[in-house]
Amino acid sequence: MPIQAGSVTSARHSVRGTSNRNTSAAAPTRILGGGSGPLADDSEDLTPWQPSPTDPWDAKKARHLFRRAGFGGKPSEIETLVKLGVDVSVDLFLIYPRQTIPTRGVFLLPSGEIVSMSTTNGQIGGWLWLMANSPWQLQEKLALFFHDHFATGINKVRYPEMMGDQINLFRRHALGNFRDMLIGVSRDPAMLYWLDNRLSTRGKPNENYGREILELFSMGVNGPYTEKDLQECARCFTGWYALLGKYSFVQRRHDYGTKNFLGRVIYNGSSGPGGEKDGFDVVDVILSKNATAEYMVKKIWEYFVYENPSGALVKKLGQTFSDDGYDIRALMETIFRSKAFYSSRSMRKLVKNPIEFIVGLLRNLEVKDVNLQRTAIRSRGMGIDLLNYSNPSGLPDGVSWINSQNLINRANFAAEVITRNPRGYLYFKGYGGLYMPLPLFKPYLQARNLTTPDKIVDHYLEILVDSDVPKAVRDNLVKYMTSYDNNQTRVWDFNLHAEAKASGLVHLIAATPEYQMN
């Protein structure tokens, strides 16, 4: 049954030791679990990790890679990665197909769900389907990262199709060059609407985008720029215009005067299409500054590895990123192959954001027939409103996702998925529930010879939380498998009890603090 406010299961205990990504640096502390891996002295080592007899490539590390470079692996996918080894596994995640999805029209998803791309929920539904089913998991994970980094919202953009186009832009450049990403975003119609740069003209430059490209998108707040630099940046982007979802450079709206930006004179003629190059020059000047590389690698590191990396690590990785010409794929390869990525400071030390929780659960349990547009509504109850961020700074991460209401909504979502018992206003008679029927648990368990309470508990603890829970939690879960609702013990009968108890077991595990960790 769904968990209500105030209820507590015997399998739950408190989250401890986490910190918000935006907090000041602190000595690393053990959060939850940690999995297999070397001690913390590898936590800043960027040299490639290689398996050894005492530190092997195993299912825990494969699941760790899949959770961070994607949204979690299906049991069969994890088995495959273990067989392939770490080097080939990382290679697979780094494949870069630039896959996009249609952003206009009405489509039938393979699950049978109809989505209209002229609606926000339709756009999100299509994206959730790709997150849950695309073999190119890192591309979608980076699209989610950049959606937060270049945060925009339908509340001001107004056109869902433009938001979908922006997510496709992130897919195309996710593992490409950050220069191309910055120029693409600067020309993106959704961004031009969101930060009003389509209204920026000669004599009346709008400073919103000029400010945010420096403060939020490249160098960070309090970066090495002045208020005058912000104003000159805004002048360079005058005439960058969008109408009906199409970008154009309008010469008569552009300020062709000389600009002095971050110590460099920018001038590309007094007229003509060359004026657009002013904006390109701004991007090149931004990328020439160490602050940009360091700001970006710190933000990417905290999203994919662990919070609060040292200044020395950020400086070293930033220099590598800059030397590689801001090649995002090369940066991600360095990260995913590094000893630091597989260190105890990294493994299961980040809090899952709501999308990681939702899509991860669907993938872990191999759920296919899910109403993704209604799932989009559920994600808002967990604190994330895809395609509708409220301000350009994006959303906070870390423990900001963890509060009593969000945890209840996560547990209730898991209950709906597992028990196929939708709640409240989302249930419409005649249209079915939130989700289509799942494959039954019994055949799944029988095929793997999981017929006893201990085996079933150990299996789901392994695939969902790396078996990393306190002994008391495991004991309580085994007890649950053999107990009535009044807590009296009963004789276990697989044929009679497996279906209901296995579904309840998965719900309980999904509600534990350990399952909230990435």
Domain presence at residue 449: yes
Domain presence at residue 444: yes
196-253 residue pLDDT tens = 999 999 999 999 999 999 999 999 999 999 999 999 999 999 999 999 899 999 999 9
Domain presence at residue 456: yes
Residue carrying structure tokens 């998925």: 417
Q: What is the mean pLDDT of residues 14-27?
A: 33
Query: pTM surpassing 0.75?
Result: yes
Per-residue b or e along 313-347, where b marks 16 or more CB atoms closer than 10 Å to that residue's CB: bbebbbebbbebebbbbbbbbbbbbbbbbbbbbbb
- Write the CB contacts of 27 (distance below 8 Å, at least 6 apart in sequence): none
Arithmetic mean of pLDDT over the chain: 88
Domain presence at residue 77: no
Domain presence at residue 487: yes
Q: Is the pLDDT of residue 7 over 90?
A: no
108-124 residue pLDDT tens = 998 889 999 999 999 99
Are 349 and 16 within 8 A, CB to CB? no
396-429 residue pLDDT tens = 888 888 888 889 999 999 988 887 554 433 333 3
pLDDT for 99 equals 87
End-to-end Cα separation, the chain, in angstroms:
25
pLDDT for 41 equals 62
CA dihedral 328, 330, 336, 338 (to 10 degrees): -130
Q: Is the pLDDT of residue 435 over 50?
A: no
Domain presence at residue 454: yes
Domain presence at residue 355: no
Domain count of the chain? 1
Domain presence at residue 206: no
Q: What is the mean pLDDT of residues 252-256?
A: 98
- Write the CB contacts of 512 (distance below 8 Å, at least 6 apart in sequence): 11, 12, 13, 465, 469, 473
Distance, in Å, from the CA atom of 286 to the CA atom of 234, rounded to the nearest integer, reads: 14
Containing structural domain, residue 466: 439-518
